Structures are given as structure tokens and as C-alpha cells.
Amino acid sequence: MKFLRKPLTKRLLLGAASLAIVVATFVYFLPTIANYGQVWDVVRDLSWQQILLLLAATAINLVTFAPPWMAALPGLSFMQAFTMTQASTALSIVVPGGIAAGVAGSYGMLRKWGYPLNDVTRAITLTGLWNQFLNLTFPIVAVFLLAIKGESTAALATVAFVGVAILGVVIAGFVLVLLSDRLAEDIGNVAARFANWGLGKVRRGPVKWNGRSFERFRDEAGDLLERRWHLLTVSALVGNLTVFLVLLVSLRVLGVSAAQVNGVEAFAAWSLARLVGSVPITPGGIGVVELALTGTLVGFGGNNAGVVAAVLVYRFLTAVPTLLLGLGAAFTWRRQKPKPPTDAFHPVGAMPGNGGQSSLET
């Protein structure tokens, strides 16, 4: 019984801490920066042309969810990719530790549509890796652009420095994995030992993958990346930058001019908040992202009411449409039929971290 109570107690404590962060952000911190009456006055002054501009930016962002998955999983149609990404993203927003729930949702839907296990796990791994590469790259680019303009921030410079180190190690390891089976196995064994050491510190069991899993991943991913790495890279980059587009449009239509916060500064604030929000403190980074974005944008010179209004509108437009579409996808995804793959390959083996059977898969 003690064994059963400990995980439950831990989840309750983490849930309470997450809720406390969200409440503190929206009840105390944001109103301290600008009271909600002032924020509402800014939002209420939006013209219908400005509202249409916001909706257009949101629509562009939504349609760019699908292409990276289409590049990573040959044969996946746009509607399937769109349905799956909306449903899995909605899960990741509303469920604590939501990234795992989102991955499980993607896995279950793709398997139910009949896509082979190896192809699905390869696509999940590659899209996840490319997103993390970009998350680490954006702050580095932001610091470089700020330096060109003669600006700098200690927080962003620190994040970028750490990002360079992590990104260098990850990319070097990824390239070495792709170079040879022996290197892939050796790196996989080292990674497994480090992962087991870290999990042991929090009293979790050992990982279920090892160097052989990395070797199989190399065999599965190498050919696809040789043919499609540019498609995956461009589509992932465009998909991420359209999220920034929604923020930039929100700032401009809600009274935060380029004279207050220019495009480079807005990109720097967004990069920092995006990286902070990727740490699973609250579902979808709620509270954490708003606080990081608002503080950084106000620090760059944005007027308080306009910044808070823009951040809240940005967060609404990047979360609520996906939640609604994800809810619709939950009722329609089973009706879609898989398109026969045109250039997929199905090697034997499984990639690291493919986990167990999703609750969506029967």
C-alpha cells in the first residue's frame, strides 16, 4: 500500500505546484504588470481588419502542423497529419506531463490507421528531434541578431550558451549514430547508462532501450533522412516560425509598435519563452510561458497593457483553436483510411523509446 500511495502523493503534489504557478501568474503577476481592465480596453479597440489579420495568422499556423509529419512518414495524407497533430497537441496542452500523452496519442492513431510500428516510431522520433533542435537553435540565432543590433540580455545569452553546448553534443551524437552501426551501438550504450543513472536518482526503473536500439534506429532513419531531410527541416522550420508570426501580429495589432519592441526583440523573447515552456512544469506551459514572454517583452520596452493583451491573445490563438479542432478530431479520426505508402520502407527492429501500447490502439 505504501508503494501505491507514494506515486499518487507525488502526482498530487506536482499537480498542486502546477496549479499554484498558473494561479499566481494570472491572479497576481500579470495583473501587477497591467490590470485586466486596461488589457480589455486594448483588446476592445481591435478593428475587424485587425481581427481578420489575427485569424489569418492563426490559420497559417494551423495548416503548418501537418507537413513535418508528412515528410517523416511517407504515405501520410495532409488530412490525416492535420487530424493527428491537432488531437495530440490538444492532449499535450490539457494533460499534466502532456508531451508524453501527445506522443501516445500520435502513436495510437497512426497504428490504428495501419501504419507499421517501425515507420510510426521513426516518424515520432524524427519530428521530436527536429523540434528540439529548433528549440535550442532559436535562442542562439536570437542572441546573434541582437548582437548585430548592439543589444544583449544576460538571461538570453546564458540560455544561448547552454543551448550551443547541448545542441553541439546532440547533433554530434546524432551524426555519429548515422555514420556507422558500431558508433550507433556504442553511443546508445553510453546514453542508456546515463539515462539509467539519472532515473536511479529519482527511483525509477532502467530504460528498455540500449545500443542495439540505436543501431536499429540508424538502419531505419538513415535512408529516409538521406532522401527527405531537407523536406523535414524546411517544414519544421516553417511550422515553428508561423507560431512566432501569431505573436508578432498580436503585438502589432494590440499597440506594441516596432519602436517599442522590434522584430528581433520579439523573436528573442519568443525563443526564450518557448524554451522555458518546453520544460514540463505545467500543462502546455500555461502560466510559465505567459510570465516569461510578458517579462521579456516589457523589459525590451513594450507598454505594459499592450504586451499583456498581446501575450494573452497569442496564447489564446495558439491553444484554443487547437483544443477545439482536437476535440473534433477525437470523433472523426477513426473514419480516415490510410493512404498506401509510395516510398516507405519497413526494416525490422524498434527505435528507442517506442514505449508500450497506446490507449488509443486496440
**Cell, residue 187:** 553511443
Q: In this structure, which amino acid lies at residue 216?
A: R
Which residue from 317, 314, 335 is spatially nearest to 325, judged by alpha carbons?
317
Write the Ramachandran bin of 151: left for phi over 0, alpha for psi from -120 to 50, otherwise beta: beta
- 355 has a pLDDT exceeding 70: no
Contacts of 296 (CB under 8 A, 6+ apart): 153, 155, 156, 268, 269, 272, 273
Rounded to an integer, the average pLDDT of 73-93 is: 91
Which tens digits make up the pLDDT trace of 169-217? 666 555 555 555 555 555 556 666 665 565 555 455 565 655 565 656 6
Q: At what angle do helices 117-148 and 98-112 cross, to 10 degrees?
A: 140
The span from the CA of 213 to the CA of 201, in Å, is: 23
93-124 burial string, b = 16+ CB within 10 Å, else e? bebbebbebbbbbbbbbbbbbebbebbbbbbb
Q: Cβ distance 81 to 67 under 8 Å? A: yes
CB atoms within 10 A of CB 19: 14
Three-state secondary-structure class, residue 115: coil
DSSP 331-344: HHGGG--PPPPSS-
**Cell, residue 361:** 490502439
Q: What pLDDT was estimated at residue 345? A: 38
Structure-model confidence comparison of residues 54 and 22, the more confident one: 54
The span from the CA of 18 to the CA of 8, in Å, is: 15
Which tens digits make up the pLDDT trace of 95-134? 755 677 788 889 889 989 999 988 888 898 889 888 888 9
**Cell, residue 273:** 519563452
Q: Cβ distance 329 to 91 under 8 Å? A: no
Q: In this structure, which amino acid lies at residue 37?
A: G
Q: What pLDDT was estimated at residue 104? A: 84
